[in-house]
Structure 1
Amino acid sequence: MPSFTVKEVPTKPYDGQKPGTSGLRKRVKIFQQDNYTENFVQATLSAIPDGPAGATLVVGGDGRFFLKEAVQKIIRLAAGNKVSKLVIGQNGILSTPAASNLIRKRKATGGILLTASHNPGGPDNDFGIKYNMSNGGPAPESVTDKIYQITTKISSYQQADLPDIDLSKIGTTKHGDFTIEVIDPVDDYVILMKEIFDFDLLRSFFKKRPDFKVLFDSMHGVTGPYNERLLVTELGLPKSSVMNSIPLPDFGDGHPDPNLTYAHDLVDRVEKENIDFGAASDGDGDRNMIIGKGAFVNPSDSVALIAAYADAIPYFKKSGLKGLARSMPTSGAIDRVAKKKGIQVFEVPTGWKFFGNLMDAGKCSLCGEESFGTGSDHIREKDGVWAIIAWLSIVAYASETNPKVGLNDILNKHYAEYGRNYFSRYDYEEVDSEHAAKVIDRLTAFINDKSNVGKSFGRYEVAAADNFEYTDPIDGSVSKNQGIRIIFSDGSRIIFRLSGTGSQGATIRLYVEKYEQKNYTVDTQTAIQDLIKLALELSQLVEFTGRKKPTVIT
């Protein structure tokens, strides 16, 4: 049982190591600076509520560039800080949902996740580190603030003199009182999925519908091995049902964000090859997109339909829906399902930790964000692969009464019953921060002028205007300035937010929503163009930023 010595390494603080709800995201070259990664990991370990000594931590990431070097640094720092055990995915690979599950299953102290989610990877792109708590969910502000405070004053870190650990071999090694367990990153997650879904129903469906074509694009992110195991090995689909399934450090020189813009290879193939069910997930596996030939499932609708078809999923059928939740920018489609089912629905700020609080208190079973994030209380992160299997389950369930059912059939049946919340998001990425601030300042002036309430802009009368504020019903914490909302009397909404998920500049997100009770067959962009025009006029976004078109429309 080889041991090691610990060295206290002197260091100096770096500016800007303030983690958000998704951790610290910066360019790889920034993380590669001397002591930069070590400083942040040391601060993270020091900020663990009960301290790092004796802790068990889950470690893994999405396979992006700099992952392997970062894992070795974490191993040495963990040993130097008297951590008891690390559970590490083979080759450092572990999807964010799988990590959340492992933390919960192993009753670990927490986890260090190495991902920048849907941001591009490679030596000139992004890397990220975030800490998850013992419930498997992202660290709350009390912990991330503590991490940041430590980074501003750090003068040294504790590092063991361990050699590089071979992460390719599954098994357990000990170094004195320090244990490293390298695990298959997929096994425990597959067990969880088989506990949640009816795999016999799914296998039966695919046998009855051998013509039903499925195509899952992992975008060279972390989910490739998960999808191959679940779709090909467990459900018996042909290997051609998965694409881009090998995790690559630069995601194949792509942008691992599952939307209609960045998943264009999938979108093209779905249309050309008449694919019935297409899906994509992002770099770390917590986001999802569902499409089919001539069909697109808006993420806001996705969570609403999963709620409506809860009986298709044994996990929900057994426990019932304890409550539903959505992020504030997400459309109100799920609210309509909640009302019909007599279930409470919560509107929370963007950030999965808010859902986690509700779940831990037993008040929420299912939730979603418009940013292609959907999940349930099986873990404390959004879960892209889970959402995709949920949708396959809906199709299989619906086929019991309509053997030839397709995605559009399911969507149109839902809209006929609940009406349709037309919804779209326009992203203006890497905008000059000063220009973005001018947009927000103008909108702030608009919502602060109370005389605007009651004013009409064409067919739209302003019913309310504010900057969304949320008081957490579980811990009483207050989250202010969560997004500027202009709400109209017919229920339509315009929302503006600055996003913190990019690594540089500012991303302005514009959300628009229009509800139609009967006219639900119009193309979304056609349906909302008058609202987009009004939003751009009120914000003067084009004039302030010079951006005539968004980077991405979803």
Structure 2
Amino acid sequence: MSKITVKTQPIAGQKPGTSGLRKKTPVFMGPHYLENFVQAIFDTVGTVGKTFVLGGDGRYFNDRAAQVILRMAAANGAKRVIVGQGAVLSTPAASHLIRLNKTDGGIIMSASHNPGGPKEDFGVKFNMPNGGPAPEAVTEAMYKRTTELTEYHILEAQDVDLGTVGRHALGDMVVDVVDPVADYADLMESLFDFDKITAMFAAGFRMRMDSMCAVTGPYAVEILERRLGAAKGTVTHEVPLPDFGGMHPDPNPTWAHELMAEMMGEGAPDFGAASDGDGDRNMVVGRGIYVSPSDSLAVLAANAHLCKGYRAGLKGVARSMPTSAASDRVAASLGIASYETPTGWKFFGNLLDAGNATICGEESFGTGSDHVREKDGLWAILMWLNILAVRGESVEAIVKGHWAKFGRNYYSRHDFEAIATEKADAMMAALRASLASLAGRKLQGMEVSGADDFSYTDPVDGSVSAKQGVRVNFTDGSRIVYRLSGTGTEGATLRVYLERYVPGPDGLDRDAQEALSPVIAAAHELAGIEAFTGKVAPDVVT
């Protein structure tokens, strides 16, 4: 067993996005590609004498990448690595292990909701000692390091047995293989009233949880079926597979279509939920009603005091800029602060660490709280179950009651995928060039009140993040946001966010796409989506 230094050279394009570096799996499997990026991480954060967490969502190449990362950690002088059994950890569970063990950070192998398999997607990101994704200053330093590398360090050694819980030696480094579920499940039990939820299931409450052949399967089975007593078979697609069973592990109405069909059909369960590839996203569905992520965040914030871990109240609510303003109205009613940040969970980290916010959410099916520093799919699902158990009402009754009190923010996101990057960039450049002249312009009977390119100044550390999305506001409270996603691996994804507020009491029960139709038409007209991209309709509607 010896440490070797391998000569290499910079590989172009290793720039992390909002959630680490994501590329096609064959790219990561190419010569030196994974090793270069991991060495850049270690060079940036330092490794000598440090302890890290390592795990991933179990997608194709997860197991091999874990062995490479372990051998590189040992060669770079790390003291200890805590690894999920089988090299598997959900992203929120990894965040919890970092915080629980007070480690120096962790490496998470995941491309989140992106498909997995030999020709699909893979990703690597670094989370900081607070358990949250590395901030921009750190990811920029990692990227800069990738442009300078001339060598990386790795140990020549046999694979570590990651299939068995226990302690192993790898050179001078300790590898602790741990149960990936137990500590996380214990954390959930400390936050929610498991006795009340158990009683609800015992009284005949029925649920369907679609884990989409992804990482949350074992977590959901342990918590829902074993600890809470939900009927066996409540969790479907519960076995994580390297290719997610051919599924697209993104919990939205398009990709979780089996769940949607069941929840909208005859004899539907009382509650439905789904999670994504690495367990940080969630979708919530009631019998006959889909709950948008923006509405879900608002409902959770309004009812959090009903749950054991949040009875003292919330310090504040934070949302990403593209997320609807529904949670802002809840925060105002509670007399607490509300925050609007750029997209990317790392922007919530400072607010949570500073005690400014307790609950955070993104419209992209991500919700969480200060219990970890990642969004957390099962956490959100369990909070919904806790609220249902305490209130004794249906999902539909709770959501419609919320609208009656606060008004409804009709909301949708339209995704235009795999657009040629140069065409997407040209469209955004044209939009940005038009911003100063948009005020007063009328589109589809609506008048533009103002438009800007969202810039965020962090209230904790003063850092500035510019060009975070083009916002177009109308005098009637409607809103359009245009943004290019940083989570894809092929071409560009244009996300168009559409919002229209109706205060009620009438007009709260319309189909969202119908209610938003003038906003949708205005969005296409204003940006020239068809002219720039060739697309007349979105690929995914959520």
TM superposition score normalised by structure 2: 0.98
3-state SS in 2 of match to 1:89: strand
Counterpart amino acid of residue 45 in structure 1: F
Q: Determine helix, strand or coil for the equivalent of 1:296.
A: strand
Q: State how 1:279-358 maps to structure 2 within 5 Å.
A: 279-318=273-312, 320-358=313-351
**Whole-Å Cα distance in 1 between the matches of residues 319 and 171 of structure 2?**
47
Q: Distance in 2 between matches of 1:315 and 1:177?
A: 40
Aligned to 1:80: 75
Q: Aligned-pair distance for 1:456?
A: 2.7
For the residue of structure 1 that corresponds to 2:233, the secondary structure is: helix
By how many angstroms is 1:463 displaced?
1.3
Q: Distance in 1 between matches of 2:156 and 2:289?
A: 55
Q: What is the aligned partner in structure 2 of residue 375 from structure 1?
A: 368
Question: Which amino acid in 1 is paired with 2:338?
Answer: V
2:216 & 2:42 partners in 1: Cα distance? Answer: 28
Work out which of the residue numbers 527, 530, 535 in structure 1 matches 2:515.
527
> CA offsets, 1:383-404, max 9 Å, x none?
00000001111111111xxxxx
Deviation at 1:176, TM superposition (A): 4.6
Aligned match of 1:190: 185
Please point out which of 446, 450, 461 is paired with 1:464.
450
Q: Pairwise CA RMSD of aligned residues? A: 1.0
Shift of 1:354: 1.1
Cα shift at 1:266: 1.4
Distance 1:204 1:265 in 2: 28
Equivalents in 2 of 1:90, 1:146: separation in Å? 31
Cα offset for 1:150?
Answer: 1.2
Q: CA deviation at 1:174?
A: 2.2
1:386 has 2:386 as partner: no
Aligned residue number for residue 225 of structure 1: 218
Q: What is the CA-CA distance between 1:142 and the residue it aligns to?
A: 1.5
Write the letter of the residue equivalent to 1:99: A
- Distance apart, 1:213 and its partner CA: 1.6
2:235 corresponds to 1:242: yes
Indicate if the aligned counterparts of 1:21 and 1:139 stay in contact, CA closer than 8 A.
no
2:16 matches 1:19: yes
- Pairing partner for 2:122 from 127, 141, 145: 127
Question: Displacement of 1:429 after TM fit?
Answer: 0.8
- The equivalent residue for 1:402 is none
Offset, 1:311: 1.6
Report what 1:47 is aligned to.
44
Q: Deviations over 1:522-543 (max 9, x none)?
A: 1101100111001101111012
Q: Using the alignment, how far apart are the partners of 1:224 and 1:175 within structure 2?
A: 30
- 2:98–2:131 Cα contact (<8 Å) kept: yes
Of 461, 464, 467, which aligns to 1:475?
A: 461
Q: Secondary structure at the match of 2:264?
A: helix
Report SS of the residue matched to 2:81. Answer: strand
Choose the corresponding residue for 2:534, options 532, 546, 549. Answer: 546
- After TM superposition, the score normalised by the length of structure 1 is 0.96
CA distance in 2, matches of 1:511, 1:58: 35
Shift of 1:445: 2.2
Aligned residue pairs, count: 539
Matched letter for residue 198 of structure 1: D
Work out the CA distance in 1 between the residues paired with 2:19 and 2:210.
Answer: 23
1:100 Cα shift? 0.2
Q: What displacement does 1:439 show?
A: 1.7
CA distance in 2, matches of 1:512, 1:21: 22
2:108–2:127: 8 Å Cα contact kept in structure 1? Answer: yes
Alignment of structure 1 residues 85-234 onto 2, 5 Å:
85-208=80-203, 210=204, 212-234=205-227
CA contact (8 A) 1:21 1:140 kept: no
Could you tell me how far 1:453 is from its partner in structure 2?
1.1
Per-residue CA deviations over 1:106-128 (Å, capped at 9, x if unaligned) read: 00000000000000000010000
Cα offset, 1:201, TM superposition = 1.0
Contact 2:264 2:289 in 1 (8 A): no
CA distance 1:498–1:175, shift in 2 (3 Å) = closer
Q: Alignment partner of 1:311: what SS?
A: helix
Q: How does 1:246-265 map to 2 (within 5 A)?
A: 246-265=239-258
**One-letter code aligned to 1:16:** G
TM-superposed CA distance for 1:95, in Å, is 0.2
Q: Which SS does the other structure have where 1:438 is aligned? A: helix
Q: In 1, are the aligned partners of 2:444 and 2:519 still within 8 Å (CA)?
A: no
Deviation at 1:448, TM superposition (A): 2.8
Aligned-partner Cα distance in 2 for 1:275–1:406: 11
Deviations 1:272-317 (A, max 9, x none): 3412211000000000000123101100010100111012211111
Q: Distance in 2 between matches of 1:520 and 1:440?
A: 33
Match of 1:412 in 2: 400
Kept in 1: contact 2:3–2:155 (CA 8 A): yes
Distance in 2 (CA, whole Å) between partners of 1:337 and 1:140 is 28
Q: What residue identity is the alignment partner of 1:289? A: M
Alignment partners' CA distance in 1, 2:14 and 2:416: 24
User: Which residue number corresponds to residue 56 of structure 2?
Assistant: 61
Query: Shift of the alpha carbon at 1:153?
Result: 1.3
How far, CA to CA, are the matches of 1:524 and 1:307 in structure 2? 22
Question: What letter matches 1:36 in structure 2?
Answer: Y
CA distances 1:207-247 after superposition (whole Å, capped 9, x unpaired):
23x1x220000101100000000000001111211100100
Segments of structure 2 that go 5 or more residues without pairing to the other structure are none
Q: What displacement does 1:200 show?
A: 0.7
Q: 1:432-477: per-residue Cα shift (whole Å, max 9, x none)?
A: 112212221221122132xx21233243221110000010011100
In structure 1, C-alpha distance between the alignment counterparts of 2:170 and 2:215, rounded to whole Å = 29
Give distance in 2, aligned partners of 1:321 and 1:175.
44
- After the TM superposition, which segments of 4 or more aligned residues of structure 1 sit over 4 Å from their partners? none
Distance 2:241 2:325 in 1: 37
Residue 419 of structure 1, CA deviation: 0.4
Q: Residue deviations 1:151-200, cap 9 Å, x none?
A: 11111111111211111010001245310000000000011001100101
